[in-house]
Amino acid sequence: MRALLTRDLMLAIRAGGGFGLGLAFFLIVTVLVPFGVGPQTELLSRIAPGILWIGALLACLLSLDRIFALDWEDGSLDLLATAPLPMEGIVSVKALAHWITTGLPLVFAAPVLGVLLSLPVPAYQWVVISLAVGTPALSVIGTFGAALTVGIKRGGLLMSLLVLPLYVPTLIFGAEVARRGAEGLGVQTPLLLLAGISFGVIALLPFASAAVLRINLR
Amino acid sequence: MSLWEYANPVKFIRTTDKVLPWVWALTGICLVTGLVWGFFFTPNDFRQGSTVKIIYIHVPSALMAINAWLMMLVASLIWIVRRHHVSALAARAAAPVGAVMTMIALATGAFWGQPMWGTWWAWDPRLTSFLILFLFYLGYMALWEAIENDDTAADLTSILCLVGSVFAILSRYAVNFWNQGLHQGATLSLDKEENISDVFWFPLLVCIAGFVLLFIALVFLRTQTEIRARRTRALLAREGQA
């Protein structure tokens, strides 16, 4: 399991594009938003938490097809499937690797990009916390989508269509935490619900992803 | 005699062939009576005027939009557990019907909302969750289309249906939390003191029955078509080999 994790991390770093691409995409989305809605500071600071969340979500989505596609093409996924590690374990490790290479950097980048969007001061910690709690859910749900579409050529668009509706609850609660934090309201309820979703999908969704992957490898 | 006999495609087609004309006839009767009764023989609402009559399409289609997904969920479960092909095909057949019902509910809702709320669309929890449901239908149908192998497609879509159901319910409660609604609460519950007035209730009931029957008829017909299409493909493949 640890070997698989290090392998995936190594591949993501050395093959290039894994680490940097998601971050660059996140940066570009946040840079484009002021062009779209205008540079007024008060407007930007009001929508900043939501923009950061949507940017993080899209950056996550962009890198999902890397989770299984390459391993599927060169056949290492078949080898992994015949390895003693259960499929659920493989899927979980893949999701973890995806989170470390995509979700975690986004969490650290968010406050920096918050400056660009003149994020209100009290919101910084809540944006970081909500992303830290929510991005694991994005990775796990995304792994499910990637497993579903792994056998399909050019399945990227289809995967977005499948995964984005599944992201709705996470996005709602995550953005709500950030928004309430920005306005100085209590954040406990949405934060707990967000954590509930994260833990719930981490606990249950790998079984679905593994089942799907087994079907695809049949 | 058990329900599982209908898992046999031949038996399924033979039975539904016998039943279908009756279902169609009943559908026609119910829809015509319900709609004519509702549109022409019920009073206008004292506040909403004649727009209240949209209810005869809006409510039944919204009901069927949810129940179609529920039926797909049950059919998917049956496919996963017992692997009856008819079940998977029925789920596939129901998806577009459900999607159209969702669209009808959204569209009639917009036509109703415009004069009543002064807006075509509001980010109300009910409206939003219906839009999300529509997206789920789209994804489900797209996945069916994208996969070439029939059994793989059936397996993957049924798992998507299960996972999607959980997330659809989650989204339903999440959007409740996220915004307050313009949409009224339930007015058709069986256990409440104050419900919609009987004048509107009875024609509405007939319309709902009509929509349920219409859904059943369409799903039967589409499932038959799917079975026959698959059979044709199998025959063609066999001829190609010979």
Ramachandran assignment for A186, one of left (phi > 0), alpha (psi -120 to 50 degrees), beta (any other)? beta
Residue B141: its chain A contacts at CB < 8 A? none
- Average pLDDT estimate for A16-43: 82
What is the predicted pLDDT for the residue at A138?
Answer: 93
How far does B66 lie from chain A, in Å, by closest CA?
Answer: 16
Residue A114 CA to residue A51 CA, distance in Å, equals 9
Confidence class for position B193, pLDDT limits 50, 70, 90: low
**Per-residue b or e along B182-193, where b marks 16 or more CB atoms closer than 10 Å to that residue's CB:** beeeeeeeeeee
Distant-in-sequence, close-in-space partners of A101: CB < 8 Å, separation ≥ 6: A9, A12, A13, A18, A19, A22, A63
Burial of A39 (0-12, 13-18, 19+ CB in 10 A): exposed
Selected residue of A148, A171, A192, A199 to mutate for chain B interface (largest B Cβ count, 10 A):
A148
Minimum-distance CB partner of A169 among B139, B142, B174: B174
Q: How remote is the C-alpha of B200 from its chain's centroid?
A: 23
- Average pLDDT estimate for A146-156: 83
Residue A155: its chain B contacts at CB < 8 A? 146
**Among all chains, which residue has been given the structure tokens 């979500």?**
A57
What is the predicted pLDDT for the residue at B192?
Answer: 55
Residue B164: its chain A contacts at CB < 8 A? 165-166
What is the predicted pLDDT for the residue at A134?
Answer: 92
Instruction: Answer whether B95's CB lies under 8 Å from B144's CB.
Output: yes
Minimum-distance CB partner of B170 among A162, A169, A218: A169
Is pLDDT of A7 > 90? no
What is the predicted pLDDT for the residue at A16?
Answer: 60
Residue B169 CA to residue B173 CA, distance in Å, equals 7
Is pLDDT of B71 > 90? yes
**Among all chains, which residue has been given the structure tokens 């899927």?**
A91
Sign of CA dihedral B97, B102, B107, B112: positive
Q: Do B143 and A193 touch (CB under 8 A)?
A: no
From the CA atom positions of chain B, what is the Rg in Å?
A: 20
Q: Do B159 and A215 touch (CB under 8 A)?
A: yes
What is the predicted pLDDT for the residue at B178?
Answer: 78
Ramachandran assignment for B239, one of left (phi > 0), alpha (psi -120 to 50 degrees), beta (any other)? alpha
Is pLDDT of B168 > 60? yes
* Nearest alpha carbon to residue A149 among A168, A166, A162, A140: A162
Residue A176: its chain B contacts at CB < 8 A? 177-178
Is pLDDT of A5 > 80? no
Which chain A residue lies closest to B175 (C-alpha atoms)? A172
- Compute φ and ψ for B48, nearest 5 degrees: -90, -10
Which chain B residue lies closest to A194 (C-alpha atoms)? B174
Is pLDDT of B54 > 70? yes
Selected residue of B130, B149, B170 to mutate for chain A interface (largest A Cβ count, 10 A):
B170
Return the percentage of chain B with pLDDT > 90, whole number.
38
How far does A164 lie from chain B, in Å, by closest CA?
Answer: 9
Domain ranges of chain A: 2-217
Instruction: Answer whether B25's CB lies under 8 Å from B105's CB.
Output: no
Confidence class for position A132, pLDDT limits 50, 70, 90: very high
Over the stretch B95-107, which tens digit does the pLDDT of each residue have?
A: 999 999 999 999 9
Instruction: Answer whether A214's CB lies under 8 Å from A81's CB.
Output: yes
Q: Do B163 and A172 touch (CB under 8 A)?
A: no
* Nearest alpha carbon to residue A143 among A89, A78, A79: A89
Instruction: Answer whether A131's CB lies under 8 Å from A55's CB.
Output: no
Query: Out of A2-6, A57-61, B191-195, B234-238, which region has the weakest mean confidence (pLDDT)?
Result: B191-195
What is the predicted pLDDT for the residue at B189?
Answer: 59
Return the percentage of chain A with pLDDT > 70, whole number.
97
Residue B160: its chain A contacts at CB < 8 A? 148, 162
pTM confidence score: 0.87
Q: How many CA atoms lie within 13 A of B155 on its CB side?
A: 19
Q: Do B171 and A155 touch (CB under 8 A)?
A: no
**Which one-letter DSSP state was computed for residue A17?**
S
Confidence class for position B125, pLDDT limits 50, 70, 90: confident
How far does B108 lie from chain A, in Å, by closest CA?
Answer: 23
How far does B147 lie from chain A, in Å, by closest CA?
Answer: 7
Confidence class for position A210, pLDDT limits 50, 70, 90: very high
Instruction: Answer whether B134's CB lies under 8 Å from A138's CB.
Output: no
* Nearest alpha carbon to residue B204 among B57, B67, B97: B57
What is the predicted pLDDT for the residue at A76?
Answer: 82
Confidence class for position A117, pLDDT limits 50, 70, 90: confident
CATH says B21-182+197-231 is which class?
Answer: mainly alpha
* Nearest alpha carbon to residue B82 among B172, B7, B6: B7
Task: Say what angle helices B125-146 and B55-82 make with each other, to 10 degrees.
Answer: 40
Round the average pLDDT of chain B to a whole number and report it. Answer: 86
Is pLDDT of A157 > 80? yes
Minimum-distance CB partner of B156 among A161, A172, A215: A215
Residue B142: its chain A contacts at CB < 8 A? 158, 161-162
Sign of CA dihedral A193, A199, A204, A209: positive
How far does A14 lie from chain B, in Å, by closest CA?
Answer: 32
Confidence class for position A201, pLDDT limits 50, 70, 90: very high
Residue B88 CA to residue B77 CA, distance in Å, equals 9
Residue B152: its chain A contacts at CB < 8 A? 151, 215-216, 218
- Average pLDDT estimate for B11-35: 91
Instruction: Answer whether B42's CB lies under 8 Å from B200's CB.
Output: yes
How far does A212 lie from chain B, in Å, by closest CA?
Answer: 6
From the CA atom positions of chain A, what is the Rg in Å?
A: 18
Distant-in-sequence, close-in-space partners of B143: CB < 8 Å, separation ≥ 6: A148, A149, A158, A162, B153, B156, B157, B160
Over the stretch A32-86, which tens digit does the pLDDT of each residue have?
A: 988 988 888 888 888 888 889 999 999 888 888 888 887 888 888 888 888 888 8
- Average pLDDT estimate for B116-144: 87
Minimum-distance CB partner of B146 among A144, A158, A205: A158
